[in-house]
Structure 1
């Protein structure tokens, strides 16, 4: 087996001889002598191989010479005519080192390679050359997609990312998540994932970003994907915007009495596009802001509602009790005003107006009536002579006038007896 060696030129430069592949031929005497330190042949790292993979061919080489020398491992793709050479490796006298060369198959199928070692001014053993075959498969493909996302006020933005890798080797990838807001793009997160063939899902928490859309990108690390890969995806985001409202339904009893327990039924609605955070509902007395009752409220889904009952242990002393129904959701809240009439106790009476002016008015009316009656009596008791300014003659005493004598007669129609004037003539 022949391998190329470097020979000194007549001008003092050195190059690869095109006429001789005999490793025992060098220009002048040699002080370094390279032989295989292990088994014959090179070791291939990186199989099973796919198009675009980085492979490594290596061999352990010893220097049996008296001085330090350098050696290079070379590869040739005999089918496609591609040749690559590794880095120059320096080996001191009496020691061994691994000499390697990296190569990347650009075609799929069974690829045949020839390898050999070259050295500048040193002897290379004839065993340091050979051939090998690498089975190269098609490039693996990857796919990135967003299965779903959820953005709520209490939980923030959560994105479920799905990643798929076609059959073959496990692969390292860089997952990058970027956001776009008002035309500006910026990277939010970037981390490495180890992906086995098949599909894998991961949930990513992103808080509350100022973002109109997200992009997800899978970037292969030191390997190449097939042209059929879909390693980039983008989604538009809908910013959470709940629309809460609270309403009073009914109080039981409908007209509460002072001091009794009252149940207040209420309803909460969410007409927005995202769920409300869990929170509390309160009944707050107006206007002194005393908390009459409080209860916990779960998260209300979009276009959903929640109904419940709160108890007021002791109904306030007021004809009309006014309070606010307050729904608190984290930093947000909504309020509904409620007014309920109280029940009047039996035996009690309460005028719908101020009684003092009414009493004063009634007394004034009575006084006016009495004054009018006195005036009328005084006027009606006057005589004509008095009205003419004179005095009437005094009345004659009854005794001086004398009383007529009377006699008794029998009634012709009954048995009674009647008194008639003594001078009466005629029938009775």
Structure 2
């Protein structure tokens, strides 16, 4: 009698598939047996295949097959140079289908709730195993939207149904909305989760909608001041005597220079002796309207004055009392001041003659 048997098959996240097997040899002498142990994957795959001399009784062992893609494991025993009386030559058993089921999630509430750029802030990531078997240790990474690595933490193996929370503290990046990604590498898998957080800049925009009490009260106070000023001016308008007095008080006094500039003096044209009136303080060029002669005059002032800039010619004031004279060449009538005794140019023939001659 030669009976092979798969006694137990297990799967765990650390080693994969493991099995315990045994071969029972009936009474008699020691006999040579070929033993093959493996799994089924579109056909038999044997990881162990060897010949051994068995003594009557039960021979047992164990084998770790690892992370194989198999539904069943098997053990086969064949007699060498002898014939077994009865019994199967092989035995198999299904691989357990239970596996750890990993989950990852990120809380979208940071601490503080709305960090500012450059501030130390903490975010939390929750890891869980919702499967029926224990998981394995792993590693979790915290990345920014631009793939900047902010932190790395190791994770312990989670038993079936167990969960844990990992906390990351980082220097908060810039931006009104900050996006982070957590990557959990565990048991040959990579699980990711994303989180989006509001920074303090966004809170400033919301605060801007608060009612502007300070501005409102300031506007009311300003309006009151304007109304009071208008009423004061209206009351002053009803008192002409007071108004005239106030005006006389603020009326600027004339300076000596201003008084001097208002006085006009008479000067004679050096060409035709025509009398012209110019301001006493005027210094510059004067043109005689009769003979068109230009000459310089120098004004007088009480105080030393700065060099005047070039000014336009001052119009002279001509004495209003005039008499008619005739040009001896063309008999053209001309009007000249009654007290004028100089030369006159006829505008028609341009003849120059004495006005009193």
TM-score, reference length from structure 2: 0.48
As a proportion of its length, which structure holds more strand?
1
